[in-house]
Amino acid sequence: MRALISASLLAADRAQLGQEAKRMEEAGVDRLHIDVMDGHYVPQITWGAWVLEALRLWSSLPMDVHLMVEEPQVLPYIRAGAQSITFHPKTSSNPEGVLQRIKAAGCQAGLAISPLDDFMSWPSLWWSLCDCITLMSVKPGMGGQSFLPQTSSRLQTVRSKLPPIPVWVDGGITPLTAKQVAGAALLVSGSFLFSASSPKEAVMALREGAHEASKFSHGIK
């Protein structure tokens, strides 16, 4: 199965979010990625659930919400049209309850793994409630960062040691780094896509990089 491509709106022109979402849809991405930050868990502040409602006027693509907020409130984002919500368990006093609320509302639920997280110590119950895992390949909280090289080995650990849950890799994704994350089900790319003179060609380049990674992981020359 080919890896899906999700465009991170953190790298978009914020004065034209709707047009930017439409531009990415026309370029051929599979999903839109919305980073929500509250200025507490991470220094940046972005936007709330209202932005999903506004984006729906411009694009029919599935929207994935990545919450980087203290004590995440998920229902407003689900009501606004989120197809999935991932969050960092250290931001919640009850991660299990947050996962259950997301799933009960009919939305995909997932946990986000930061580069320094000791995710192997997390309770197995959490993983049993996950529909996806977001593996951060940069530090959470800011766009435009470079891909962290340890991501490749961390991805293989996630895939080999945890239950078979789709893994999404988020941050610093280019055609070159896409080749380093064999087995990822989805790649989140921001700066590379939005700064490209031809977003359509950029999407094709990411797909080719992911395809090369897939061939490598299956031992195909």
- Going along the chain from its start, the domains and CATH numbers come out as 4-217 (3.20.20.70)
- The amino acid that residue 59 corresponds to is S
pLDDT digits (tens), the chain, 221 positions: 789 999 999 999 999 999 999 999 999 999 999 999 999 999 999 999 999 999 999 999 999 999 999 999 999 999 999 999 999 999 999 999 999 999 999 999 999 999 999 999 999 999 999 999 999 999 987 777 799 999 999 999 999 999 999 999 999 999 999 999 999 999 999 999 999 999 999 999 999 999 887 765 544 33
Q: What pLDDT sits at residue 213?
A: 76
> Catalytic residue numbers?
35, 170
Please give the Cα distance from 206 to 5 (Å, whole number): 8
Q: What pLDDT sits at residue 217?
A: 57
Q: In the beta sheet, which residues pair with residue 186? A: 4, 168
Please give the Cα distance from 59 to 34 (Å, whole number): 13
CB atoms within 10 A of CB 85: 29
Tell me the whole-structure pTM to 2 decimals: 0.93
Q: What pLDDT sits at residue 166?
A: 97
